[in-house]
Amino acid sequence: MILAVDIGGTNYSLALGTPDGRILERTTGSTDRSGGAQWMIERVLMVGRRLIASSPEAVTACGISFGGPVDFASRRIVNSTHVAGWDNLAITETIQRALGTPAVVDNDANAGALGELTFGAGRGCRHLIYYNIGTGIGAGIIIDGEIYRGANGNAGELGHVPVLPDGPLCDCGNRGCLEALSSGTAIGRRGEEAVREQPRRAGGIRQAANGPVTAKAVFDAARTGDGLALELVDETCRYLGMGVAAAMNALAPEAIVIGGSVAKAGRVLLERLRKQTDRFLMPVHRPHLKIIPARLKGNSGLLGAVALAAASGGENQAAG
Ligand SMILES: [Zn+2]
């Protein structure tokens, strides 16, 4: 049995998971940002102890999906942009010491990619690219069934592929990154700008938003055929298509899996994204273009953590 932990800036979840991807028991709560890392670790240990005690089988490994940069090799969290106190934190050592279980940690995009590969939309693939389009754009690259980490461990940052020279400032410090134009946050911001600049065409988006413009409002309005919203979605998909085509030209994966809150937009997003990606792809890659929605949805973090623990051999090591 695997103890799965999903730590995000908004919510956290813990569960018992089987190596074949069943979630047996699950606890979810809101992250108390003011409590910092200390609060979260106390929660994880408390709920983890309870789950281990209630498990029908011995818990032999713990997988952690973390919403921020992770140094996979040293099994440490690098930091969190949302919550204080995570800098260079050896969460895996804390868990091993307190719960007696070997632990492995990775960022949520890599964990999500492994989860989709093992249990979700990417089953049967050897090479795939996973995008999590939400507040930001995270990505994980799978090559030959394993996460590709590169020479310094930080490969896979496809949200920071530049798609617009001198474009909007990104959290990473550069300008015109895919994330700065096509994340949920960026779509909401561009929607707000469009509504301000073109008030006469903004009725549909305003109505869908009923307050500040969000990505969801833009997609909801686009689905009703609203002209301004459709222009925003087309523009979003043009940037995404540039980013996805760059990744596909470089890596030739069998599938591109799209997850995260923006993926909930469904067909209105995916159909345009396919068209735009096709446009930017080298002809030799076009017949192989396969963009599919993620399947794990609400359990993506937890099942990613399960897949991570299973892939790291923690399950077998501890059991054998
Ligand atoms: Zn960036």
Tell me the pTM: 0.93
What structural domains does the chain harbor? 2-112+299-319 (3.30.420.40), 122-294 (3.30.420.40)
What would the pLDDT profile of 190-220 be if each residue is shown by its tens digit? 999 999 999 999 999 999 999 999 999 999 9
User: How many Å lie between the centroid of ligand 1 and the Cα of residue 160?
Assistant: 4
User: How many Å lie between the centroid of ligand 1 and the Cα of residue 177?
Assistant: 5
Tens digit of each residue's pLDDT, the chain (320 residues): 999 999 998 899 999 999 999 999 999 999 999 999 999 999 999 999 999 999 999 999 999 999 999 999 999 999 987 789 999 999 999 999 999 999 999 999 999 999 999 999 999 999 999 999 999 999 999 999 999 999 988 899 999 999 999 999 999 999 999 999 999 999 999 999 999 999 999 999 999 999 999 999 999 999 999 999 999 999 999 999 999 999 999 999 999 999 999 999 999 999 999 999 999 999 999 999 999 999 998 898 999 999 999 988 755 444 33
User: How many Å lie between the centroid of ligand 1 and the Cα of residue 247?
Assistant: 15
Q: What's the one-letter identity of residue 260? A: G
Q: What is the pLDDT of residue 80?
A: 87
User: How many Å lie between the centroid of ligand 1 and the Cα of residue 159?
Assistant: 7
CA distance 141 to 128: 6
Q: What is the pLDDT of residue 102?
A: 96
For every residue of the chain, which 3-state class applies, written as one string? CEEEEEECCCEEEEEEECCCCCEEEEEEEECCHHHHHHHHHHHHHHHHHHHHHHCCCCCCEEEEEECCCEECCCCEECCCCCCCCCCCECHHHHHHHHHCCCEEEEEHHHHHHHHHHHHCCCCCCCCEEEEEECCCEEEEEEECCEECCCCCCCCCCHHHCECCCCCCECCCCCECEHHHHHCHHHHHHHHHHHHHHCHHHCHHHHHHHCCCCCHHHHHHHHHCCCHHHHHHHHHHHHHHHHHHHHHHHHHCCCEEEEECHHHHHCHHHHHHHHHHHHHHCCHHHHHHCCEEECCCHHHHHHHHHHHHHHHCCHHHHHHC
Q: What is the pLDDT of residue 27?
A: 96
Beta carbons within 8 Å of 281's beta carbon, 6+ residues apart = 245, 248, 249, 289
Over the range 243-281, which residues count as b (16 or more CB within 10 Å of their CB) and which as e? bbbbbbeebebebbbbbbebbbbeebbbebbbebbbebb
* Token pair recorded at residue 31: 């992250």
What would the pLDDT profile of 241-268 be if each residue is shown by its tens digit? 999 999 999 999 999 999 999 999 999 9
User: How many Å lie between the centroid of ligand 1 and the Cα of residue 137?
Assistant: 9
Mark the residues whose beta carbon lies below 5 A from ion ligand 1: 160, 170, 172, 174, 177
User: How many Å lie between the centroid of ligand 1 and the Cα of residue 157?
Assistant: 9
User: How many Å lie between the centroid of ligand 1 and the Cα of residue 243?
Assistant: 12
User: How many Å lie between the centroid of ligand 1 and the Cα of residue 203?
Assistant: 32
User: How many Å lie between the centroid of ligand 1 and the Cα of residue 83?
Assistant: 20
User: How many Å lie between the centroid of ligand 1 and the Cα of residue 251?
Assistant: 20
CA distance 37 to 67: 12
Q: What angle do CA 199, 181, 272 make, to 5 degrees?
A: 85
User: How many Å lie between the centroid of ligand 1 and the Cα of residue 133?
Assistant: 14
User: How many Å lie between the centroid of ligand 1 and the Cα of residue 27?
Assistant: 33
CA distance 220 to 296: 23
CA distance 95 to 91: 6
User: How many Å lie between the centroid of ligand 1 and the Cα of residue 165?
Assistant: 12
User: How many Å lie between the centroid of ligand 1 and the Cα of residue 222?
Assistant: 27
User: How many Å lie between the centroid of ligand 1 and the Cα of residue 215?
Assistant: 19
226: left (phi over 0), alpha (psi -120 to 50) or beta: beta
Q: CA–CA distance from 96 to each of 55, 63, 75, 288, 312 (Å)?
A: 17, 11, 12, 43, 15
User: How many Å lie between the centroid of ligand 1 and the Cα of residue 238?
Assistant: 17
